[in-house]
């Protein structure tokens, strides 16, 4: 049996322009500059620069032309699209909405470099290889991960090369080529496991240097005991003393377990973090501004305003082509106006959010003392500025602020709340700092397990569970007690 039923639904739809405005909130300053550049290239009605307001002209109402030239109902006013306000870059007119040096040379530092694979291939270019060896080497390099390891089985690579490149090789031939790759920089690259990686790095060291030969013996014959830091067992099996064992262990601990990361770190040195906010502290007062050095001022093109004005004056005698041009201009005009407004909204939202963070963490920003950081979550700032948590999250993501004590990501200022015995609310960051201090000052021969660290914190008045201590320790990048053990 068929039934007809009426239903009423409330749906919220977001326009494409609203989506673009939201996306603009997410991008950091360097990406914003590229986004503006792209918009300038695609929209002829949008241009850089300011314009004297005396050059602005008011115009008459203009009929919006369409395919039906006899339709007189669809009209628009050019004054609705081009007026004196459009020539002023309104997102730069608010107090403290841009940095004092925004008129300086507009240059953006950027990171340049090559990939890890390209770095290895460039070194191969200096070696004398046969065409077959070069093909195999290139394929092997393509399978080396960012840490510098070849984690794919050699037999599987033999099959892959035969199937994908129709090149038939053997395991022995492939291992010989792998040996050539393992001679490249950084030392340890192309290893198939941690043990091989460390041995490759020891291989290039001076074998007459104290501890090197013993270190090699430890890695070859007692690797499992070494990874578990069972130094007493190693000493007994090698029938040696702590005085002889320590130099060998020190040499091993100097090695890089992830040789590929050393290349990434070297590349990172060329990268420049461009802060989105600038914070000055003068005479006990904060001066907060947006870093707009690379953000051009935007305006509506006067050339197209004149075109519309000319059309308005002669619209009765205009041709169909002229009307088509005006329709195109109107569409681009809408887009340009929206984009300028979206930039303005982005700047105001960013500035308002950062100001709320500054007000919330005022004591911290005065001196940069981490113990002064108050517990703060996205909800706290969302309530202060009257925006959704999702909006605050987009503002905070990938943004940095330059202060008088360093450059920090905005995420740094957020942390969950903990409580002391007295009921005082403190930041989890404060507990992490105390935890790190405890581990830094511990006896490395007998490092503190998580249970002891928990007792210390509890005695200091911080009521935290052992699992919380373990979580914070891991977030700090600190291993368990057994792996922190050292010989003195």
CATH assignment at residue 463: 1.10.10.60
Do residues 125 and 252 share a domain? yes
Question: Would you say 372 and 364 are in contact if contact means Cβ atoms under 8 Å apart?
Answer: yes
Looking at 233, 266, 299, the residue that finishes a domain is: 266
Buried b / exposed e along 255-280 (16+ C-beta atoms within 10 A): bbebbbbbbeeebeeeeeebbbbbbe
pLDDT score for 481: 84
Looking at 385, 414, 443, the residue that finishes a domain is: 414
Do residues 315 and 426 share a domain? no
Q: Is 21 within a domain?
A: no
Task: Tell me the pTM.
Answer: 0.51
Binned at pLDDT 50, 70 and 90, residue 265 comes out as low
Give per-residue pLDDT as tens, 43-89: 887 887 664 443 343 333 444 444 444 443 333 343 343 343 433 33
Do residues 86 and 152 share a domain? no
Do residues 410 and 431 share a domain? no
Give per-residue pLDDT as tens, 317-331: 566 776 777 778 788
Short-list 302, 202, 312, CA closest to 257: 202
Range of the domain at 346: 26-104+274-414
Q: How many domains does the chain have?
A: 3
H helices of 90-165, where?
116-124, 131-142, 154-165
Question: Would you say 287 and 276 are in contact if contact means Cβ atoms under 8 Å apart?
Answer: no
Q: Is 18 within a domain?
A: no
Do residues 156 and 187 share a domain? yes
Q: Is 421 within a domain?
A: yes
Q: Is 282 within a domain?
A: yes
Do residues 133 and 202 share a domain? yes
pLDDT score for 268: 55
Looking at 266, 294, 310, the residue that finishes a domain is: 266
Do residues 341 and 253 share a domain? no
Buried b / exposed e along 83-110 (16+ C-beta atoms within 10 A): beebbbbbbbeeeebbbeebeeeeeeee
Do residues 460 and 339 share a domain? no
Binned at pLDDT 50, 70 and 90, residue 174 comes out as very high
Q: Is 316 within a domain?
A: yes
């Amino acid at each position: 049996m068929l039934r007809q039923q009426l239903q009423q639904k409330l749906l919220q739809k977001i326009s494409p322009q609203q989506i673009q405005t939201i996306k603009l909130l997410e991008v950091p300053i360097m990406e914003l500059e590229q986004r503006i550049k792209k918009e300038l290239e695609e929209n002829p009605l949008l241009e850089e620069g300011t314009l004297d307001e005396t050059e602005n002209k008011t115009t008459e109402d203009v009929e919006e032309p369409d395919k039906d030239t006899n339709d007189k109902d669809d009209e628009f006013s050019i004054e609705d699209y081009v007026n004196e306000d459009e020539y002023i870059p309104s997102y730069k007119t608010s107090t403290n909405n841009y940095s004092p040096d925004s008129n300086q040379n507009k240059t953006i530092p950027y990171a340049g470099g090559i990939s890890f694979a390209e770095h290895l291939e460039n070194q191969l270019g200096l070696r004398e290889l046969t065409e077959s060896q070069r093909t195999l080497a290139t394929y092997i390099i393509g399978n080396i991960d960012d840490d510098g390891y070849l984690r794919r089985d050699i037999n599987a690579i033999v099959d892959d090369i035969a199937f994908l490149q129709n090149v038939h090789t053997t395991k022995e031939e492939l291992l010989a080529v792998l040996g050539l790759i393992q001679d490249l920089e950084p030392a340890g690259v192309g290893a198939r496991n941690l043990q091989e990686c460390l041995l490759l790095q020891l291989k290039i060291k001076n074998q007459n240097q104290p501890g090197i030969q013993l270190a090699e013996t430890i890695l070859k014959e007692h690797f499992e005991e070494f990874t578990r830091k069972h130094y007493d067992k190693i000493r007994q099996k090698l029938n040696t003393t702590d005085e002889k064992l320590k130099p060998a262990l020190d040499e091993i601990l100097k090695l890089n377990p992830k040789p590929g990361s050393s290349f990434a770190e070297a590349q990172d040195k060329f990268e420049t973090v461009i802060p989105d906010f600038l914070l000055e502290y003068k005479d006990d007062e904060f001066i907060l501004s947006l870093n707009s050095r690379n953000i051009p001022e935007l305006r509506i093109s006067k050339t197209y305003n004149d075109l519309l004005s000319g059309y308005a004056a002669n619209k009765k005698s205009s041709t169909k082509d002229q009307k088509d041009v005006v329709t195109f201009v109107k569409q681009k005009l809408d887009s340009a106006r929206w984009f300028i407004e979206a930039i303005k909204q982005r700047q105001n939202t960013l500035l308002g959010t950062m100001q709320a963070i500054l007000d919330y963490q005022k004591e911290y920003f005065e001196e940069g003392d981490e113990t002064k950081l108050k517990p703060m979550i996205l909800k706290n700032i969302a309530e202060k500025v009257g925006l959704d948590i999702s909006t605050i999250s987009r503002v905070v993501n990938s943004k940095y602020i330059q202060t008088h004590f360093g450059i920090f990501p905005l995420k740094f200022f957020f942390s969950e709340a903990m409580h002391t015995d007295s009921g005082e609310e403190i930041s989890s960051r404060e507990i992490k700092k105390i935890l790190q201090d405890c581990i830094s000052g511990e006896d490395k021969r007998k490092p503190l397990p998580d249970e002891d660290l928990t007792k210390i914190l509890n005695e200091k008045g911080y009521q935290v569970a052992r699992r919380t201590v373990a979580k914070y320790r891991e977030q700090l990048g600190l291993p368990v007690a057994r792996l922190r053990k050292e010989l003195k």
